[in-house]
Structure 1
Amino acid sequence: MKSFLFRLYLMAMKLIARFTPIQNNKVVVLNGAGRSGSNGYLFGKYLQKNHPEYEVTIVEPWPSSHLPLKTWRKIGAAKFVFTTHQPFKVHARQVNIQFWHGIPLKRMGFMANNTSSKVDQRNAKLWQKNADIVCSSSDLYESLMSACCGIESNKYHKTGFPRIDALKNPVISKKQLLGDLFKTEDDEAQIGIYMPTFRYEMEDSQIMKQVQQGNFLTLFDFNIEQLNNSLKKNHQYLVVKLHPYEMKLFKHLQSDYSNIAFLNNDYLYRQDIDLYQLLGNTAFLITDFSSIYFDYLNIDKPIIFITNYLRQYEEKRGLLMGPYEEIVPGICVKTQQELMQAIARPDRYGAKRRYWLELTNQVQDQSSCANVVQLLKSI
């Protein structure tokens, strides 16, 4: 019912916004990706800083039923509408440029095990109707996206993704991260980050119960004191960045341990940054089935994969490539003991990371933001 009412709301607002004349220098970014690697937010900020010839409006959160009428008028006036999730525009004369929010690893749309054919077909029609340009990084990306969403090949443009520019050029230093999150200084510090995928969709209450009780790794042998001591011994620090849904399960997102800290959205908004603007100063990544690891390949640092729920995730939603433990460029672990050993072990996956980087980013030596601006000026 809520979904139906929201679609009615969108229809009504689009009708109102259509009465606003389009202006060629106006750009609107509909940011549905928050501050966790948002191509839209990062490109919008780049455009505001470097190209004053464009009038840029960043709308976040999106979608929302609480936008003021003046914001809808700005959406209606924009010649270019950038989106990070479903393509959207008010007028047929507007140009929708689709950034999306990650290289797909998990099945979605037509390929997913947990979606309906009716919804998939409706979404495919939205892509065909509203997405004029789809930014891409590689042939592999285009094949995966088209398999899931039915996107025509002529819509793709290999610009790369603005989040990769930010990843390569962090604005928050390692020293500041240590001070802000861990309240310490350490010249030997290695900061790692743990970013799991959206585990709620596995529909397993026990998993969410573990997270709520503090077992953010959801490992059966989880022992936070032991983990902290292991990190401390090696001058390693772990930043925990949970999915926004999981963050809501914690009353107070803070750690009482010296070498473990939670990173919440409040910190990112206070600094007026996106996660990727500090991610480049981390030394290793721990994840499960999040496609963030494709992006992390661009800074060529170790990645560790927690796979204790791999079979359950494959059955519930599915992955686009596999066998998973064979293709990922890093150590796979199922226990905390294995994880601690993996963090301390010398890296031996450099060649495999470079192999997957070549497959997923064919514009790795270019500025993605500059490529997108060039695309704007060519239209």
Structure 2
Amino acid sequence: MKSFLFRCYMTLMKFLARFTTMEDNEIVILNGSGRSGSNGYLFYKYLQLNHPEYNVTLIEPWPSSHFGWKVWQKIGAARYIITTHQPFKVRKHQINVQFWHGVPLKRMGIMANNTKRRDNRRNEKLWHKYADIVCSSSDLYETLMSACMAIETKKYHKVGFPRLDALKNPVISKEQLLKDLFKVEDKDAQIGIYMPTFRYELNDPKIMERIKSGNFFAFDDFDIEKLNSALKERQQYLIVKLHPYEMRMFSNFKSKYSNIAFLNNDYLFDHDCDLYELLGDTDFLITDFSSIYFDYLHLNKPIVFVTNYLKQYEKTRGLLIGPYEDIIPGINVNSQRDLISNLDHLDNRQLRNLRLYWLNLTDQVNADSYCDKIFDFMTKGY
């Protein structure tokens, strides 16, 4: 019932917004990605800094039923509507630029094991009707997206993604990040970051209970004291960045451990930055099935893949590429014992070659500035 009423609300507001006069220098960014690799937010910052001739409005979180009429007037007046999730616009002559929010590794849309045909058909119609420019990074990206969303090939344009510009230009130094999160100065420190995918959809109370108790890896043999000691011995520091839903589950959010710290959105908002503007400070990534690993390839740094609930995830939702062990350019661990035993040798020549191989597959643009390329195309080339 709630979703039906929300669709009615959106339909009404879209209709009313059409009566606003459209202006060629108005850009609206509908950001549904928060501060974790948000193409929308990062492009907003770029436009404010580099293109003051345009009036740019960031609307977040999107979608929402809590926006006032002035917000909808902005949407109606915009020549360009930029989205990070479903494509959207209120009038025919607006241009929708679709960033999306990651190179798809997990199945979604018509390819997923846990979606409904009715919802999939609705999404297909939205992409067909509203998406004008679908930003792309490679043939592989286009193949994966179209497999899930049935997007026509003519909509794709290889211009890359704003989040890729942020990776190599941290806005906070590594030294400051260590002070802020770990209260230390350590010139020989290695910083790792753990970023798993959204695990709630596994629909497994056991996993959720483990996470709630502080076992953020959901390992059978999890022992945070031993993990912290192992990190401390190696001058390694681990930032834990979970999905916001999982962070809310924690009974004790603040870490009392010297080499493990939790990063939440408050820190990112307080520093007016996106997570990707900090990733360049890190020395290795730990993830599971999150597509962040495709982006992290641009840093050419070690990646560790946690696979203790791989089979369950493949059954519940599914992955687009496999076998999983053959597509990951990094170390595969399924227990804390495995993880600790690999902390001393996270990288080697074979893994570096694998990372470059997958980088070439997932990014054929390789631009000095992806934001410049996107801006020029949408305002001059389309």
Contact 2:42–2:162 (CA under 8 A) maintained in structure 1: yes
- Residues 226-275 of structure 1 deviation map (CA, whole Å, 9 limit, x = unaligned): 00000000000000000111011024521000000000000000001000
Q: Which residue of 2 aligns with 1:298?
A: 298
Residue 278 (structure 1) aligned with residue 278 (structure 2): yes
Deviation at 1:366, TM superposition (A): 3.0
SS at match of 1:114: coil
The amino acid across from 1:158 in the alignment is K
Same amino acid, percent of matched pairs: 64
The amino acid across from 1:192 in the alignment is G
Q: Which residue of 2 aligns with 1:48?
A: 48
Q: Which residue of 2 aligns with 1:57?
A: 57
Contact 1:253–1:264 (CA under 8 A) maintained in structure 2: no
Deviation at 1:68, TM superposition (A): 1.3
> Partners of 1:53 and 1:365 in 2: how far apart?
24
Q: Which residue of 1 aligns with 2:95?
A: 95
SS at match of 2:286: strand
Deviation at 1:341, TM superposition (A): 1.6
Contact 1:298–1:364 (CA under 8 A) maintained in structure 2: no
Deviation at 1:376, TM superposition (A): 2.3
**How many residues are treated as equivalent by the alignment?**
379
- Residues 292-349 of structure 1 deviation map (CA, whole Å, 9 limit, x = unaligned): 0000000000000000101000000000000001110001101101011222215121
Q: Which residue of 2 aligns with 1:374?
A: 376
> Partners of 1:312 and 1:346 in 2: how far apart?
26
TM-score by length of 2: 0.98
Q: What are the residue-to-residue correspondences of 1:189-228 with 2, within 5 Å?
A: 189-228=189-228
SS at match of 1:97: strand
Q: Which residue of 1 aligns with 2:356?
A: 354
After TM superposition, what 4+ stretches of structure 1 lie above 3 angstroms from structure 2? none
Contact 2:367–2:373 (CA under 8 A) maintained in structure 1: no
Contact 1:87–1:131 (CA under 8 A) maintained in structure 2: yes
Contact 1:109–1:148 (CA under 8 A) maintained in structure 2: yes
- Residues 205-224 of structure 1 deviation map (CA, whole Å, 9 limit, x = unaligned): 11110000010010000000
Contact 1:304–1:342 (CA under 8 A) maintained in structure 2: no
SS at match of 2:343: helix
The amino acid across from 2:286 in the alignment is I
Residue 151 (structure 1) aligned with residue 151 (structure 2): yes
Q: What are the residue-to-residue correspondences of 1:90-239 with 2, within 5 Å?
A: 90-239=90-239
Q: Which residue of 2 aligns with 1:312?
A: 312
SS at match of 2:239: strand
Q: Which residue of 1 aligns with 2:243?
A: 243
> Partners of 1:377 and 1:333 in 2: how far apart?
46
Contact 2:237–2:259 (CA under 8 A) maintained in structure 1: yes
Structure 2, gaps ≥5 residues long: none
> Partners of 2:310 and 2:346 in 1: how far apart?
25
Structure 1, gaps ≥5 residues long: none
Q: 1:324 to 1:251 in 2, by over 3 A?
A: same
